[in-house]
Amino acid sequence: MKIYFVSNFPDIWPKDFDPNVVHLTAREYIMKPDLVREKHAKVYNLCNTVKYQSLGYYVSLLAEARGHRPLPNIATIQDFNSQRTIKYLAGSIQDLIQEKLSHIQTNDFVLSIYFGRNVAKHYDRLCSQLYGLFPAPLMRAHFRKEKQWKISELKPISIRDVPPEHHEFLTRSAVEFFGGKRLGTIVNQTKWRYDLAILHNPQEKHPPSDNKALKQFVKAGARLGIRVEMIEKSDFSRLAEFDALFIRETTQVNHHTFTFARRAQSEGLIVMDDPESILRCTNKVYLAELLARHKIPTPKTVVVHRGNTAQIAEEIGFPCILKQPDSSFSQGVFKAEDPASLETKLELLFDSSELVIAQEFMPTDFDWRIGVINRKAFYACKYYMAGKHWQIIKQGKKGFNYGRFETIPVAWAPKNIVQVATKAANLIGDGLYGVDIKAYNGKPYLIEINDNPSLDADVEDQVLKDGLYDTIMGDFLRRIEEKKS
């Protein structure tokens, strides 16, 4: 992947900075229409981009038109020109601002940010957070203290605005920005066509993919020429380095996983799970309405609020299942055997949500899980209930007990199960989904659609083996190339 550093003062960079990085002036970049042939380039715009229709502005604008990845992009440049947007987004890090500036004795402070860092290491976390909100290689933030510290101005700067005594630090920051290596070690490996990040949380109790599966995704990416890197929550500011984001951490709307998806999408990355799928799948109230409207068979369902709890006994009866709208991994799901337990469990659920899902209880030995990607089913699993329990996961004093599983070829799964799963997943989008279905009295009943399905080694991959990972990475490759073209 080619990397361009574009500025009006290219001589400021050391001559030996990196032979594989192409340095161009703004006019050179703008006046070279043949650069459109470089379909996978990244452009680091080190010009002054604040002024509308300036040369710096046109560098980022034409980079997007040419299918390149500019930093900053036009959306970020527009953000810099809106004080309201700056203050709104910076509001999310107000506590950090107060913490890092608490020792400043004056009422004004200026912070220079070079590739998400500052000369003084004390401010690195603040710089990283500001870079995450406003991805631009060179910025300057002005803070003013009234009752508390607030950003009075934030703007991108050109390389000319960096004082000479900071040039060495700027060069070092740029090198470390690209993974702590000389840039040539990245861009000169011609086998890497694209860069993909996998967001994961090593401390998560029930991650969507175990470590062995994550390593398989890395290998599958390499087979297709995709460099796959594992990232965590703290790497938010690095999203613009990648072409795609694969979220392998349990997703929620009011959570950093959703923020990652939104930011990645705004940066032009291919994202799974995309923000729309997270919004739609993580809320069971939305799913209940959607499935009912499209006549997808489900257990009898009532959307419950404090004013209609009597409908549960009237329309569903006992026992019944109660679900917190954003529950996952069998957590936030309860079984009410009678009116007394129903009342107790509803009070618990109403403490965190105004609406609750109540469903008919359908006892089965196992639940089907059909994996769907790009609107096609590609794996099928049976998840059996945990011993002496009505769910596939049972929480005990010593931890969690899981029922056994059985993975089979999609062609061997009942046709009506696969059809219902595919139809339901396609209502959400064309991403990656795991559709849970019960076969009850010979008929399929859809339980839920997961935007972030489990993909563990030696479980979901039992039939397809490496093919499971190749299918997913291959779909990323297809999407990236379609977007680039």
pLDDT bracket for residue 388 (50, 70, 90) = confident
Q: Both 164 and 203 in a single domain?
A: no
Whether the per-residue pLDDT at 283 is higher than 90: the answer is no
Are 77 and 156 a contacting pair, CB within 8 Å? Answer: yes
Q: Name which of 127-141, 327-341, 445-459 the model is least confident about.
A: 327-341
Are 132 and 188 a contacting pair, CB within 8 Å? Answer: no
- Please report the pLDDT score of residue 35 as a whole number: 79
- Residue 424 CA to residue 438 CA, distance in Å, equals 14
State mean pLDDT over 126-151: 92
- Residue 289 covered by a domain: no
- Please report the pLDDT score of residue 90 as a whole number: 85
Please say which residue of 340, 361, 382 terminates a domain.
361
pLDDT bracket for residue 79 (50, 70, 90) = confident
For the chain, the distance separating the N- and C-terminal CA atoms, rounded to the nearest angstrom, is: 15
Higher local confidence (pLDDT), 65 or 349: 349
- Residue 229 CA to residue 192 CA, distance in Å, equals 12
- Residue 149 CA to residue 147 CA, distance in Å, equals 7
Q: Both 29 and 159 in a single domain?
A: yes
- Residue 455 covered by a domain: no
Q: Both 63 and 87 in a single domain?
A: yes
Higher local confidence (pLDDT), 433 or 241: 433
- Residue 132 covered by a domain: yes
pLDDT bracket for residue 331 (50, 70, 90) = low
- Please report the pLDDT score of residue 184 as a whole number: 40
User: Cα 154 to the chain's mean position, in Å?
Assistant: 26
- Please report the pLDDT score of residue 182 as a whole number: 39
Q: Which domain range does residue 383 map to?
A: 363-450
Residue 300 tokens, joined: 């009898």
Higher local confidence (pLDDT), 302 or 39: 302
- Please report the pLDDT score of residue 469 as a whole number: 97
Q: Both 350 and 368 in a single domain?
A: no
State mean pLDDT over 211-239: 92
- Please report the pLDDT score of residue 15 as a whole number: 57
Higher local confidence (pLDDT), 48 or 309: 309
Q: Both 81 and 137 in a single domain?
A: yes
- The mean pLDDT of the chain is 88
- Residue 183 covered by a domain: no
- Please report the pLDDT score of residue 371 as a whole number: 98
pTM of this structure: 0.72
- Please report the pLDDT score of residue 214 as a whole number: 97
Q: Name which of 77-81, 187-191, 303-307 the model is least confident about.
A: 187-191
Q: Both 212 and 92 in a single domain?
A: no
Query: What are the tens digits of pLDDT across the range 389-421?
Result: 888 877 766 667 788 999 999 999 999 999 999
pLDDT bracket for residue 91 (50, 70, 90) = confident
Q: Both 203 and 339 in a single domain?
A: no
- Please report the pLDDT score of residue 189 as a whole number: 43
Whether the per-residue pLDDT at 22 is higher than 70: the answer is yes
Please report, for residues 359, 408, 444, the alpha-carbon distance to residue 368 in angstroms, rounded to integers and kept in the order given.
Answer: 18, 11, 9
Query: What are the tens digits of pLDDT across the range 180-216?
Result: 443 443 344 446 889 999 999 999 988 999 999 999 9
Q: What is the CATH number of the domain that holds 245?
A: 3.40.50.20
- Residue 463 covered by a domain: no
Task: List the beta bridge partners of residue 246.
Answer: 198, 272
Task: List the beta bridge partners of residue 439.
Answer: 444
Q: Both 357 and 394 in a single domain?
A: no
Higher local confidence (pLDDT), 191 or 430: 430
Please say which residue of 361, 380, 403 terminates a domain.
361
Percent of the residues in the chain that have a pLDDT greater than 90, as a whole number: 58
State mean pLDDT over 446-470: 96
Q: Both 218 and 132 in a single domain?
A: no
Q: Both 32 and 155 in a single domain?
A: yes
The number of domains in the chain is 4
Contacts of 284 (CB under 8 A, 6+ apart): 323, 324, 325, 326, 327, 357, 448
pLDDT bracket for residue 14 (50, 70, 90) = low
Instruction: Please name which of 304, 288, 272, 286 lies closest in space to residue 196, comparing C-alpha atoms.
Output: 272
- Residue 458 covered by a domain: no
Q: What is the CATH number of the domain that holds 341?
A: 3.30.1490.20
Query: What are the tens digits of pLDDT across the range 164-184?
Result: 999 889 888 887 876 544 344
Q: Both 354 and 369 in a single domain?
A: no
Percent of the residues in the chain that have a pLDDT greater than 70, as a whole number: 93
Contacts of 435 (CB under 8 A, 6+ apart): 369, 370, 371, 372, 420, 421, 422, 424, 425, 446, 448, 449, 450
Q: Both 168 and 272 in a single domain?
A: no
- Residue 222 CA to residue 246 CA, distance in Å, equals 15
- Residue 457 covered by a domain: no
- Residue 263 covered by a domain: yes
Alpha-carbon torsion (383, 386, 392, 395), positive or negative? negative
Please say which residue of 177, 204, 222 terminates a domain.
177
Instruction: Report the 3 state secondary structure along 247-302.
Output: ECCCCCCCCHHHHHHHHHHHCCCEEECCHHHHHHHCCHHHHHHHHHHCCCCCCCEE
Would you call the peptide bond into 319 cis, given omega within 30 degrees of 0 as the criterion?
A: yes
Alpha-carbon torsion (454, 332, 261, 215), positive or negative? negative
- Please report the pLDDT score of residue 8 as a whole number: 81
